Amino acid sequence: MWCYSFQQNWLQAYRYADLLCKESRWSKAIYVFQKAAILCMLPDADVKTTGEDIVALFRQVEGLKQRIAGKSIPTEKFAVRKARRYGTSPPVKLIVPALEMMYIWSGFSVLGKRADFTENMLITIEKEETLLKNETHHNEYYMDDVCLLQLLKGLCLKHLGRLLQAELCFSQVIQSEKQLKYDTYLAPYSTYELGLLYKQQNEREKAVRFIETAKNNYKEYSMESRLHFRIHAALSSMKVTPAATP
């Protein structure tokens, strides 16, 4: 599924996402969400050939959420929260949800090894960026969507070696922090990514400062524990002893 997603062969990616929905017992909520997210990347005509109803799939997600030892799975909680945009009437479409999940599962570090795939992904993101800018009516998710595209665009630019442009993208998200209504995770994740960008440029002091800011200055956002694992790995790789969270 992910190999085809990196190639943006969304129809083939859908076929494997559908197979996971039918045959894997790990997390039905995640698999249904990912299938719907991949279908969102397809033209309407291709979606019709699958016989799937995207809105109905997203509306299934919350009912499939599990609790293990009394606790929810963070990735499922994330999927449920994102899927709620389809619970309204009319539904509010997600922006590039398959690419957002790709980032959550650390897929951009794999994608970035292929400049051709990364360049094509950047083209897709910039097309969505143009469509969003041209909208005459901005819904309540507008700034969240703008910032999501900036984060993903920054990642592509970083892997393509366009580091100054990547820095501007991550910085824009951080500066828009107060305008985020739902996807507040975008600010700490962008702060972390900016730290990694400085690390790549051997600006160690700035790298550590931004990565530690991502750890200490943000609380209670989606996928917080996942970011803390990434932060720990990044600081350890720079021989920095991660300080205990206050």
Confidence bin at 38 (pLDDT 50/70/90): very high
CB atoms under 10 Å from CB of 241, counted, come to 7
Listed in order, strand segments (DSSP E) in the chain are 67-68, 71-72
- Whether the predicted pLDDT of 12 surpasses 60: yes
State residue 62's pLDDT score.
94
pLDDT tens digits along 166-225: 999 999 999 999 999 999 999 999 999 999 999 999 999 999 999 999 999 999 999 999
Q: What is the mean pLDDT of residues 21-33?
A: 93
pLDDT for the residue 243? 58
Rounded (5°) CA angle 138-150-220:
85
Residue 114 in tokens? 């292929």
Tens-place pLDDT, residues 64-93: 998 776 678 889 999 999 999 999 999 999
Beta bridge partners of 68: 71
Question: Mean pLDDT across the stretch 149-171?
Answer: 98
Question: Which tokens hold the place of 143?
Answer: 């700034």
pLDDT of residue 4: 98
User: Hey, what amino acid is at 239?
Assistant: K
Mean pLDDT of 1-26: 96
* CB contact at 8 A, 210 and 234: no
Q: Tokens 């076929």 label which residue?
A: 15
* pTM confidence score: 0.94
pLDDT digits over 212-229, tens only?
A: 999 999 999 999 999 999
DSSP string, 112-171: TT-HHHHHHHHHHHHHHHHHHHT-SS--TTHHHHHHHHHHHHHHHHHHTT-HHHHHHHHH
For 86, which DSSP code?
A: G
Does residue 49 have a pLDDT over 50? yes
Domains of the chain, earliest start first: 1-94 (no CATH), 95-245 (1.25.40)
